[in-house]
Structure 1
Amino acid sequence: MLEELRTQQLERIQIRGQWMKSYNFPVPPVIKEILDKTAGESTSWRPLWNGENEYQVTGPLGHFVVNMRTRRCTCRLWQISGISCVHATSCILKIRHPLTDYVPPYYSRISMSALYEHVLYPINGMENWPRNSDVGFELDPPNTKTQCGRPRKIRREETQVRFHENRVESLQRGPIITCSRCGQSGHNKRTCQNDPRVSTSQRSAPSGAQGSQVPNAQSDPPTQETTGAPSCQPPTTGPSSRNVRKAQRCGRRKTAD
């Protein structure tokens, strides 16, 4: 590829250099085309001279001030490109000066001809290059050093396309994160906002087995006879409850005299 680019530049410089020798206009063709275009558009503008070096140019877009001595215009196009804008062109044509006199020297034909004075010289192909024996020494390949550690054998993750919520595509580099709560990719369990997925064991379990594991909320609470543990509440039978004090400890009762 580099050899092809070098060949193209060799031919381009030669053709441009020969063409510039027969070109007689003060500025290159590209600059000449710009000057002709601005000269045609300047007919819509009317310059007014203040008696010194400034003009007030009036046109479709308002008023602009042009300073011919400093070569400045309030539209700033003359300062940016160096080529006179339509406002400055109308002033130049009013005083009947050539537009090429207000073009910077780096846009002149002489500067363009200097670009193509030097040419590229042809070189031989690879088959005609001097060999090591002709030079007088043997050129050995560079020494290679094996890096420390075990070489990597794991396949790298390929670049994938990721779709965002606003339907914008972006390249996903690196591994894809999968949520352990809902099973979807793109987020983790901490930021998950989806419903948890149902495991395979819960799907295959019968309805009767699931019902047997859930305690019945309407069944009677366990009593002392069923659990075998001593009750901490006072008995409901016997003497009046006004003469019975509450037990201070579990399993102990104290009655009034």
Structure 2
Amino acid sequence: MEEHKFSIGQEFPDVKAFRNAIKEAAIAQHFELRVVKSDLIRYIAKCSFGDCPWRIRAVKISNSPIFTVRSLEPTHTCGCNAQNAHNQASVDWIVSFIEERLRDNINYKPKDISHDIQKQYGITIPYKQAWRARERGLAAIYGSSEEGYFLLPSFCDQIKKSNPGTVAEVYTDCADDRFQRLFVFFYASIYGFLNGCLPVIGLGGLQLKNKYLGTLLVATSFDADGGLFPLAFAVVDMENDESWIWFLSELHKALEMNTQCIPQFAFLSDGSKGIADALKTKFPSSFHAVCMRHLTDSIGKEFNDSRLVHALWQAASATTVVSFKEKMAEIEDISSEAAKWLQEFPPHSWALLYFQGIRYGHFSSNVEEFNIWITEACELPVIQVIEKIYNKLTTMFEERHSKSKSWTSVLAPFAEKRIEEAIKLTSSYQVLQSDEFEFEVISAERSDIVNIGTHCCSCRYWQLYQIPCSHAVAALLSCKKDPYALTVKYFTVESYRETYLPKLHPIPGKIELKRSGESLVNEDIQVVRPPKFRRPPGRPEKKRICTDDINREKHVVRCSRCNQTGHYKTTCKAESAERI
């Protein structure tokens, strides 16, 4: 380890650099260090093992911060056989070891820190010490949670100044100025959503894991190519009915300020009562569906049968009454209990066929995708969470806008592929024209009626997905009409480009925000203190806790043999008791 050897006359920039170097050498060479004297002008240390002669002395050069080694006894007789633990491996030293790694990877976990130190230095550090070092390292890089709350008002002001039209508001408890809620909706997202995205909004939340916890409420949408498009987001102290009503109220106000008439939206969520009630209040003309990913996960967890999950997906995507009833009967055959459980969710809230609005073929919200997109920031202070979202949004807008420049088709790739597949199927169809608009399309399996005037097909695909089905494409081609022209505008390349047309402008960094905040401390401005809630000890929950989940009644199973609760027929002991 040549880099950890010292020589007389060797110089270091200052006393701190020398201390770090001597500590690093002790850890790397596996000997314990005993500091004899350490101040701003001199540093004397020796090996702590018995009569080992190793010793070093360094002093400060006059009129300079430089430290130089004046005397050195480099010989060790102790064998440098320190135990697995090392006294010099303090939290501060671990912070210096992990800082760059942590800057590159927020998800650098304590167990990874321990593993890397063991691998590089051959010493073992306790998990708790690695955890403390990680917390301190995050605070050094991104600032403390308390500082984040203090800077929030300045941060919101800077967001609005640098991105005009953006909504960024922080709300506090009037009694003690403690943080309650934060709402952010970038103007680029407002413009992109209203001018290019599908009128479909996903709602959900993500549990934050920083010092003061909280929940990140999110609204997302889909672009013309089916990609995730983050809309608005908020940080609240607790997810409940009140917070959802507030969030949707802020969302409605932001959209209302930027359009003359708010269109009918299709909302997708986990179906919690709080969201449903809030939507009825704030978006009464829109429609609400249960996210199929959430529903299938629930039925899979409740009954532990993959066949139910598969059948439920098929029922949800059925486009005719006959096929829907077939799949519901299949669910009944697999488990009558599951069919009874599913009755709690009326078909119009999850089945594409019975949904009163238009979902454009989207069965699940993409909130889970957003959660994965931003999950690395969950442990950071609240101001850094917003910065991470902003940075990802900026990158996403630039990359997708650039990507779309090379597209030469009318439709975005997702819809383009659907039309191409439909065109391939038309070669085996026979088309009979009844009048100017109505056609009968005959295939080997079935016959369908298409009306190109009302954009309808008896298979109902065109109505439900808003993309011409293969029968409609066959009818359109037979009368020399363009199927691309009869696909709704939401799937066009033009809409995609319009979505990502706006630019997100840079927001001042933390230093500028600090200066802004410090200059306003004595003025009459909003003061934000951290909330009262703090992260409890122990491992945090992986999933957020919703008040509806706490109050929801658990499903009670009933045996079909003995009619008792608490078990199924397969585990019933009544038959075995009768035999005895």
Structure 2-normalised TM-score? Answer: 0.24
Instruction: Write out per-residue CA displacement over residues 141-195 of structure 1, whole angstroms, 9 at most, x where no aligned residue.
Output: 75999xxxxxxxxxxxxxxxxx943399xxxxxxxxxxxxxxxxxxxxxxxxxxx
Instruction: Write out per-residue CA displacement over residues 23-52 of structure 1, whole angstroms, 9 at most, x where no aligned residue.
Output: 221111111111111111222221101243
The residue matched to 1:102 in structure 2 has which SS?
A: coil
Q: Report the CA distance shift for 1:141/1:102 in structure 2 as closer, same or farther (over 3 A).
A: closer
Q: Report the CA distance shift for 1:129/1:39 in structure 2 as closer, same or farther (over 3 A).
A: same
Q: Give, in angstroms, the shift of residue 124 of structure 1.
A: 3.0
| Counterparts of 2:528 and 2:411, CA distance in 1 | 54
Counterpart residue number, 2:480: 96
- 1:70 counterpart = 2:472: no
Matches within 5 A, 1:103-122: 103-122=487-506
Matches within 5 A, 1:44-63: 44-63=428-447
Counterpart residue number, 1:85: 469
Counterpart code for 2:406: S
Counterpart residue number, 2:510: 126
Q: Report the CA distance shift for 1:137/1:77 in structure 2 as closer, same or farther (over 3 A).
A: same
| Counterparts of 2:462 and 2:477, CA distance in 1 | 16
Counterpart residue number, 2:402: 18
| Counterparts of 2:493 and 2:527, CA distance in 1 | 52
Counterpart residue number, 1:135: 520
Q: Report the CA distance shift for 1:118/1:97 in structure 2 as closer, same or farther (over 3 A).
A: same
Q: Give, in angstroms, the shift of residue 83 of structure 1.
A: 0.7
Instruction: Write out per-residue CA displacement over residues 197-224 of structure 1, whole angstroms, 9 at most, x where no aligned residue.
Output: xxxxxxxxxxxxxxxxxxxxxxxxxxxx
Q: Report the CA distance shift for 1:103/1:8 in structure 2 as closer, same or farther (over 3 A).
A: same
Q: Report the CA distance shift for 1:78/1:141 in structure 2 as closer, same or farther (over 3 A).
A: closer
Matches within 5 A, 1:1-257: 1=377, 2=385, 3-131=387-515, 132-137=517-522, 164-166=566-568
Number of aligned pairs?
153
What root-mean-square deviation, in Å, do the aligned CA atoms of Structure 1 and Structure 2 show? 3.2
| Counterparts of 2:483 and 2:465, CA distance in 1 | 15
Instruction: Write out per-residue CA displacement over residues 50-108 of structure 1, whole angstroms, 9 at most, x where no aligned residue.
Output: 24321111112322111121111111111111111111111122223332111112222
The residue matched to 2:519 in structure 1 has which SS?
A: helix
Q: Give, in angstroms, the shift of residue 17 of structure 1.
A: 1.2
Instruction: Write out per-residue CA displacement over residues 209-245 of structure 1, whole angstroms, 9 at most, x where no aligned residue.
Output: xxxxxxxxxxxxxxxxxxxxxxxxxxxxxxxxxxxxx
| Counterparts of 2:442 and 2:426, CA distance in 1 | 11
| Counterparts of 1:26 and 1:78, CA distance in 2 | 18
Q: Which moved more, 1:124-133 or 1:51-60?
A: 124-133
Q: Report the CA distance shift for 1:52/1:141 in structure 2 as closer, same or farther (over 3 A).
A: closer
Counterpart code for 2:416: K
The residue matched to 2:502 in structure 1 has which SS?
A: coil
Q: Give, in angstroms, the shift of residue 117 of structure 1.
A: 1.1
| Counterparts of 1:4 and 1:38, CA distance in 2 | 41
| Counterparts of 2:431 and 2:457, CA distance in 1 | 12
Q: Report the CA distance shift for 1:141/1:79 in structure 2 as closer, same or farther (over 3 A).
A: closer
Q: Report the CA distance shift for 1:136/1:33 in structure 2 as closer, same or farther (over 3 A).
A: same
Give ranges in structure 2 of 5+ residues lacking alignment. Answer: 1-376, 378-384, 533-556, 558-565, 571-580
1 or 2 for the larger relative contact order (CA 8 Å, sep ≥6)? Answer: 2
| Counterparts of 1:4 and 1:141, CA distance in 2 | 21
| Counterparts of 2:527 and 2:422, CA distance in 1 | 64
The residue matched to 2:514 in structure 1 has which SS?
A: coil
Counterpart code for 2:492: S
The residue matched to 1:110 in structure 2 has which SS?
A: helix
Q: Report the CA distance shift for 1:35/1:143 in structure 2 as closer, same or farther (over 3 A).
A: closer
Counterpart residue number, 1:183: none
Q: Which moved more, 1:74-83 or 1:52-61?
A: 52-61
| Counterparts of 2:469 and 2:530, CA distance in 1 | 63
Counterpart residue number, 1:244: none
Q: Give, in angstroms, the shift of residue 6 of structure 1.
A: 2.3
Counterpart code for 1:96: K
Q: Give, in angstroms, the shift of residue 15 of structure 1.
A: 1.0
Counterpart code for 1:135: L
Counterpart code for 1:118: P
The residue matched to 1:32 in structure 2 has which SS?
A: helix
Q: Report the CA distance shift for 1:18/1:61 in structure 2 as closer, same or farther (over 3 A).
A: same
The residue matched to 1:89 in structure 2 has which SS?
A: helix
| Counterparts of 2:530 and 2:447, CA distance in 1 | 73
Counterpart residue number, 1:206: none
Q: Which moved more, 1:44-53 or 1:63-72?
A: 44-53
Q: Report the CA distance shift for 1:87/1:144 in structure 2 as closer, same or farther (over 3 A).
A: closer
The residue matched to 1:130 in structure 2 has which SS?
A: helix
Counterpart code for 1:29: P
Q: Which runs of 4+ in 1 moved over 4 A?
A: 138-145
Q: Quick check: which one's helix share is greater?
A: 2
Give ranges in structure 1 of 5+ residues lacking alignment. Answer: 146-162, 169-257
